[in-house]
């Protein structure tokens, strides 16, 4: 046994193996800690969100249904019945909603003026909203935000993207939430 430790190469290899084992063990431990910390941060983010203003939500859903009924009454072209929800509310609904920026919309050569937002938590049948007008570059994809604004109606302009009509929201104030 003494002869094994006299060989410097063997000792060096053993030290390297021990260091590698320690590094992999620490790396595994920190990955678990980081993912757990991220999950906790997301849960804390959701817990700190202002409550959805349900009275306003009900008013908006009623107005959306009225628009749909009126559009159907006026006649919707055959095959476009799913677009009957599109229209502006008679009275905008003040909202406080939270979500995550999904991407830019309404883009041209001069930039983008709108974003689509994945609502957190989802609201009734709506998982996304159309948020505009905004300055190009004001927000980035995956930003977690709280939106204080006006729900002005329902747009079906992006039916091919979302497979449904979605709320159109004009922001008065947007707060970015830091979730790491």
Q: Per the confidence metrics, is the pTM higher than 0.75?
A: no
Question: pLDDT digits over 63-84, tens only?
Answer: 888 988 888 888 877 777 778 8
Structural Rg of the chain based on CA atoms: 26
Residues facing 173 on adjacent strands: 148
Q: How many CA atoms lie within 13 A of 52 on its CB side?
A: 16
CATH number of 54-177, picked from 2.40.50.110, 3.90.850.10, 3.30.70.330, 2.60.120.10: 2.40.50.110
- 53-57, 123-127, 150-154: least confident range: 53-57
For the ranges 50-59, 104-113, 114-123, the maximum mean pLDDT occurs at 114-123
- Domain locations in the chain as residue ranges: 2-48, 54-177
Residues 6+ apart with CB under 8 A from 31: none
pLDDT the model gives residue 9: 76
How confident is residue 133, by pLDDT bands cut at 50, 70 and 90? confident
By CB atoms closer than 10 A (0-12, 13-18, 19+), residue 85 is buried
Residues 6+ apart with CB under 8 A from 119: 97, 98, 99, 126, 127, 128, 129
What does the alpha-carbon distance between residue 23 and residue 17 come to, in Å, rounded to a whole number?
10
């Amino acid at each position: 046994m003494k002869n094994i430790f006299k060989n410097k190469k063997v000792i060096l290899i053993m030290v390297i193996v021990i260091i590698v084992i320690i590094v992999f063990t620490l790396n595994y431990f920190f990955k678990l800690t980081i993912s757990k910390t991220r999950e906790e941060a997301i849960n804390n983010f959701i817990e700190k969100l202002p409550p959805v203003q349900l009275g306003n939500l009900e008013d908006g859903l009623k107005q959306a249904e009225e628009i749909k009924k009126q559009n159907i009454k006026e006649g919707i072209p055959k095959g476009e019945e799913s677009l009957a929800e599109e229209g502006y509310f008679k009275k905008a609904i003040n909202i406080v909603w939270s979500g995550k920026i999904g991407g830019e919309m309404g883009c041209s050569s001069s930039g983008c003026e709108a974003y689509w937002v994945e609502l957190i938590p989802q609201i009734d049948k709506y998982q996304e909203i159309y948020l505009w007008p905004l300055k190009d570059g004001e927000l980035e994809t995956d930003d977690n935000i709280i939106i204080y604004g006006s729900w002005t109606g329902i747009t079906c302009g992006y039916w091919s993207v979302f497979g449904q009509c979605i709320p159109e929201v004009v922001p008065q104030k947007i707060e970015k939430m830091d979730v790491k």
